[in-house]
């Protein structure tokens, strides 16, 4: 392949040039970089008047907590909310996208959105990406056909359940649900059980933590209880305060390294 004298701008579409290089690196034993997953505990349950969703509020980047109070319960429609676990970017993007599609659908049909509409839109999107969009969702809402609760997995499969948990803390939360859930819970009992399940995730799973968010959806009404419980208050605050004025830190030694600069002929920016 001769080197082109004139640089042609790349045509649209995916450029496969780097695939051979990646394969060669893999053969040499170089580990490919892994993407950040967010540990989470998200839950949902059906109670006598509708659906209650719950989530913790910790977002992690590997071993570090990057957001101590993030929102994992996403708005889909006035009567439908969705909790997201997995890669934060994926859950945000996919719920925002389907939320917009639902609004356009509401304008076109003139009716309130149904939960299975959101379900079908989400599952077809996730299936077409064959699991690479890493979003595990708990979708809940109340529409004309009644209260609904569904779980959606990254590969596009769905389950319809009376109570559900997802995320790294799902086992701890499911243990709470399996022992205490029953049909026909009242609003207060439901909120209490959801909080207990999320707290089980917060205290027993390293990927979940901070506060409990709850969302109660009933016919014609929804209540988003942001930070309904704060079981992890900051217990130690230094009495000296946290301002560090210049001059307070002792300088032990100083070393200056000069950068090597080269003079280059011609224009700095050649288009």
Catalytic residues: 40
Q: How many CA atoms lie within 13 A of 2 on its CB side?
A: 3
Token readout for 213 is 């968010």
Nearer to another protein, 99 or 168 (CB): 168
Distance CA 197, CA 207 (A): 15
Is 96 within 8 Å of 147 (Cβ atoms)?
no
Burial of 126 (0-12, 13-18, 19+ CB in 10 A): buried
Q: Interface with another protein includes 254 (CB under 8 A)?
A: no
Among 60, 117, 134, 211, the residue binding another protein under the rule CB under 8 A is: 134
Distance CA 194, CA 183 (A): 14
x/- mask, another protein, residues 80-119, rule CB under 8 A, reads: ----------------------------------------
Instruction: Please give the size of the binding site for another protein, defined by CB under 8 A.
Output: 24
Q: Which residue matches tokens 């967010």?
A: 38
Q: Which residue matches tokens 């959606």?
A: 152
Q: Interface with another protein includes 129 (CB under 8 A)?
A: no
Nearer to another protein, 123 or 222 (CB): 123
How many residues make up the chain in this entry?
271
| Residues from 11 through 70 that contact another protein (CB under 8 A) | 37
Q: Interface with another protein includes 127 (CB under 8 A)?
A: yes
Q: How many CA atoms lie within 13 A of 23 on its CB side?
A: 5
| Residues from 142 through 201 that contact another protein (CB under 8 A) | 151, 153-159, 161-162, 168, 170-171, 179-183
220-255 burial code (b ≥16 CB/10 A, e <16): eebeebeebbeebeeeeeeeeeeeeeeeeeeeeeee
Q: Cβ 183 to another protein, closest distance in Å? A: 6
Nearer to another protein, 69 or 124 (CB): 124
Among 70-78, 122-130, 208-216, 256-264, which window interacts with another protein (CB under 8 A)?
Answer: 122-130
Q: Cβ 28 to another protein, closest distance in Å? A: 27
Nearer to another protein, 105 or 224 (CB): 105
Instruction: Tell me which residues touch another protein (CB under 8 A).
Output: 37, 123-124, 127, 131, 134, 151, 153-159, 161-162, 168, 170-171, 179-183
């Amino acid at each position: 392949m001769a080197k082109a004298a004139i640089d042609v701008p790349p045509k649209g579409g995916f450029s496969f040039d780097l695939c051979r290089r990646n394969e060669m690196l893999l053969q040499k034993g170089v580990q490919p970089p892994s993407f950040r997953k967010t540990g989470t505990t998200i839950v949902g349950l059906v109670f006598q008047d509708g659906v209650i969703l719950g989530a913790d509020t910790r977002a992690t980047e590997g071993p570090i907590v990057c957001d101590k109070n993030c929102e994992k319960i996403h708005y889909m429609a006035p009567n439908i909310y969705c909790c997201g676990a997995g890669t934060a970017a994926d859950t945000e993007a996919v719920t925002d996208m389907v939320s917009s599609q639902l609004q356009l659908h509401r304008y076109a049909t003139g009716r309130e959105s149904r939960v299975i509409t959101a379900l079908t839109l989400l599952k077809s999107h996730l299936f077409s990406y064959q699991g690479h969009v890493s979003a595990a969702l708990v979708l809940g809402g109340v529409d004309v056909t009644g209260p609904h609760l569904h779980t959606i997995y990254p590969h596009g499969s769905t389950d319809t359940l009376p109570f559900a948990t997802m995320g790294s803390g799902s086992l701890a939360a499911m243990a709470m649900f399996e022992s205490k859930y029953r049909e026909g819970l009242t609003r207060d009992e439901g909120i209490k059980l959801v909080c207990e399940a999320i707290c089980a995730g917060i205290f027993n799973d390293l990927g979940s933590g901070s506060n409990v968010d709850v969302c109660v959806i009933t016919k014609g009404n929804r209540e988003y209880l942001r930070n309904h419980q704060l079981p992890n208050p900051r217990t130690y605050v230094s009495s000296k305060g946290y301002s560090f004025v210049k001059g307070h830190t002792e300088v032990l030694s100083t070393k200056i390294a000069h950068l090597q600069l080269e003079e280059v002929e011609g224009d700095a920016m050649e288009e």
